[in-house]
Amino acid sequence: MIEVRLLTLNALIRDNVPARLRALGPVLERSGYDIVCLQEVLHRGSARLLRQVTPGYPHRAATGVTVLAGGLMLLSRWPIRRYRFARYPMTRPLRTELLMRKGAQLAVIGTPAGPLAVVNTHLSANRDDDWSEGNRYTGIIRGELDHLARAVTGFEPSLPAVVVGDFNVPRDSPVFTRFAAAAGLRDVLAGDTSTTYRPTPRWPAPPPLDQVLIRAVEDRPAAVRARTVLQDPVRVADGRDLFLSDHYGIEADLSFGASPQ
């Protein structure tokens, strides 16, 4: 039986980045998470800093020399057998976000009980906050989700899988639910409408944009417990109290049944 404790978190590329990452390190070290999927770790310097403050995660996946592809970084206590980065198509309208080369990390991790496919992703933002079918950004996200569904279904059918990240689309949106069905994934937080983005005066009631989905293998049922975490400020080195991100994290305890003999 594969048992995994996982965290996904958009770590925010601006505002006191070194201080927040230094504070995040001890949180992860104490957490007991086996796998951590981070988004918006844009610069290689941030990746080096995370390496220094998370020695309990000796296995890492990130692509890029100066700028990390997609701003994605995966930390694991277990060996990462293989991984690759799949970039989403470049589409209009032109926007500075395109410099992040958004896409998905597709990895296979060797857990003590067998291999597990892990996908970490960050989709394009909807600058209109309008996820109706005809919206210009919904069309971009639809294309990215189609690309992601093909990548996920490319994993060997025998592999259980978990797909996480900042999807920038509400989990009750039709474009998201169609993606989950096409990719053969189960949304573990379906029906949970609590936000994963810190409310602001401009956006007092944001929808849940960060997601966790799983693919169980036939005859290997999966059990899941997931919840929102990292909502409170933490004390950083200079004595200030800062939020770790403008997003909340999602913690998921996953259990995939043993292979039939």
Query: Which pLDDT score, from 0 to 100, does residue 219 have?
Result: 65
Q: pTM, whole model, 2 decimals?
A: 0.94
Q: In this predicted model, what pLDDT tens digit does every residue of 147-191 receive, in sequence order?
A: 999 999 999 999 999 999 999 999 999 999 999 999 999 999 999
Kindly indicate the confidence band of residue 90, based on its pLDDT and cuts at 50, 70 and 90. confident
The C-alpha atoms of residue 61 and residue 84 are separated, in whole angstroms, by 9
The C-alpha atoms of residue 240 and residue 188 are separated, in whole angstroms, by 35
Q: In this predicted model, what pLDDT tens digit does every residue of 10-66 receive, in sequence order?
A: 999 999 999 999 999 999 999 999 999 999 999 999 999 999 999 999 999 999 988
The C-alpha atoms of residue 245 and residue 19 are separated, in whole angstroms, by 11
CA distances from 136 to 129, 170, 182, 246 (A): 11, 16, 22, 24
Q: What is the mean pLDDT of the chain?
A: 93
CA distances from 77 to 20, 27, 91, 112, 145 (A): 22, 15, 36, 11, 29
Cα torsion angle, 55, 57, 63, 68, sign:
negative
Give 223 or 87, the one with higher predicted confidence: 87
Helices and strands in the chain, H and E counts? 4, 14
Query: Which pLDDT score, from 0 to 100, does residue 95 have?
Result: 77
**Spatial CA neighbour of 48 closest among 13, 69, 22:** 22
**Spatial CA neighbour of 177 closest among 207, 142, 151:** 142
